[in-house]
Amino acid sequence: MNDYQVVKALNNNVLIALDQNQQEVVLIGKGIGFNKSKDAVIPEDIVEKLFVLRNQREQEHYKSLIPVLDENTLNTIISSIEIIRRRTKTILSEKVHVALTDHILFATTRLLNGLTIKNPFSTETKALYPFEYEVAAEVVEFINQSMEIDLPEGEIGFIALHVHSAMTDKTVSDVNRYSKLIIQLIEMIEKQLHVTIDRNGMEYARLLRHLRYTIERVINDEKVQEPEKIATLLKSEYPTCYNLSWKLIKIMQQALKKPVYEAEAVYLTMHLQRLMMK
């Protein structure tokens, strides 16, 4: 059995302990620290229901947040992360646990001080990450009930990025960077084709998702099959859209520092052509 030995209880929900290799870890779970004295043993089967922070930097950052968190806020955050773990069926990385604690503390403190930050990318986040947005909406509703506050709707979008980060093990800053790149590409499309895409329409959501999956394929070095006959046809039939798709691909290559396969231009051209027809 890989039991943990208590070094110190920081509060009712957080313990510092030693693992089987005598490495210091932080154990997080509702009520785990209650009445736990030094050298008490935490059995491994309980630990499966907990969050274990092993990374030194994440540990230090998390410990610095503890004095700022009252019991109810900390309980609410731990339960929120449990909702994400349950809904996504994912083993969440520890950096996500710390980042979300940080974010929820920041969001609730701002709200209690009468300050809110507008989320300019809510529509895009909802279209890009529909499942994550749904989970985040459940989390925000739970936080509002538990803490008797009223987080603005834009907060769902912010937390959805954290949920996506938890599911894909990307950092939130990377997820943000890719979302901004997609928005930059769409602005370029509108400018070049002299169109304004309805932000609440199906076409916009479809285009956002297509660009998202293109970027994900590029990051993961996934090659799509290139239908050569279609490429030749599109080049001659729809030169404006074909040329624009290559401009977009060049922007992607520069931003992602990775090559983009030629077949992506074919699929992009089809999407752009459909937009122009609309």
What would the two tokens of residue 88 be?
Answer: 């996504």
Query: Is the pLDDT reported for residue 80 higher than 90?
Result: yes
Are 145 and 198 in the same domain? no
In which band, very low, low, confident or very high, does the pLDDT at 79 lie, cut at 50, 70 and 90?
A: very high
Are 25 and 116 in the same domain? no
CA distances 41 to 52, 144, 194, Å, are 15, 35, 67
Are 251 and 230 in the same domain? yes
Rama region for 20: left / alpha / beta (φ>0; ψ in -120 to 50; rest): alpha
Last residue of a domain, one of 115, 134, 169: 169
Are 92 and 195 in the same domain? no
CB 231 within 8 A of CB 266: yes
- CA-to-CA distance for 160 and 178, rounded, in angstroms? 14
CB 24 within 8 A of CB 59: yes
DSSP helix/strand/coil, 69: coil
**What is the average pLDDT value for the chain, to the nearest integer?**
91
Last residue of a domain, one of 135, 169, 203: 169
Average pLDDT over residues 54-65: 93
Range of the domain at 128: 56-169
Are 73 and 164 in the same domain? yes
Are 106 and 43 in the same domain? no
List the CATH number of the domain containing 122.
Answer: 1.10.1790.10
Nearest to 271 by CA among 251, 250, 248: 248
For 147-186, how does the pLDDT look when each residue is reduced to its tens digit (9 = 90+)?
999 999 999 999 999 999 999 888 899 999 999 999 999 9
Residue type for 99, please? A
List the CATH number of the domain containing 247.
Answer: 1.20.58.1950
Query: Is the pLDDT reported for residue 47 higher than 80?
Result: no
pLDDT at 48: 67
Looking at the structure of the chain, the number of domains it has is: 3
Average pLDDT over residues 97-111: 92
Are 76 and 66 in the same domain? yes
